[in-house]
């Protein structure tokens, strides 16, 4: 599945809900299905700076694709990183770096987060792209 296809699938899923309380519940459910990061990667150096909650993000280059795992100590934040991992994991570094992220605005995610969580979302995206850039440079 391409990045765009994953984004469209998420936009379709979000459009099924009538209000933001239902969307928040869905984001929390997505977080519960997040493949948990191996405990050995849940360390200080994998913490995303700029997040209100603790979010650990690990990336590996497997056969030319970036594979992400993550965890968070907050249920909503865990759901947000789950959405991002669903879009960006198992993708080529160049595709991650060049991806259009307008789907975030289209589902209304950023505008329905507190300012600190919205900053955390930006930090998560930045870290995902930094990993992709590092793998692209290899």
Annotated catalytic, 33? no
Instruction: Considering the candidates 37, 51, 74, 96, report the single residue annotated as catalytic.
Output: 51
CB 71 within 8 A of CB 42: yes
Whole-angstrom CA distances from 25 to 31, 75, 103, 128, 132 are 10, 10, 19, 24, 30
What's the count of helices (H) and strands (E) in the chain, helices before strands?
A: 6, 2
Encode burial over 5-30: b for 16+ CB neighbours within 10 A, e otherwise.
Answer: ebbeebeeebeeeeeeeebbebbbeb
CA 15 to chain centre: 19
> Which residues have a catalytic role annotated?
51
């Amino acid at each position: 599945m391409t990045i765009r296809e994953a984004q469209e699938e998420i936009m379709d899923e979000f459009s099924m809900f009538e209000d933001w309380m239902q969307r928040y519940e869905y984001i929390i459910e997505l977080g519960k299905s997040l493949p948990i990061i191996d405990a050995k990667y849940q360390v200080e150096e994998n913490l995303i700076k700029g997040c209100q909650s603790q979010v650990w993000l690990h990336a590996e280059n497997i056969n030319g694709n970036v594979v992400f795992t993550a965890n968070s100590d907050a249920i909503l934040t865990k759901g947000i990183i789950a959405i991002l991992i669903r879009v960006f994991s198992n993708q080529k570094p160049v595709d991650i770096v060049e991806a259009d992220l307008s789907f975030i605005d289209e589902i209304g995610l950023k505008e329905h987060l507190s300012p600190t969580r919205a900053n955390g979302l930006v930090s998560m995206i930045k870290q995902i792209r930094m990993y992709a850039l590092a793998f692209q440079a290899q």
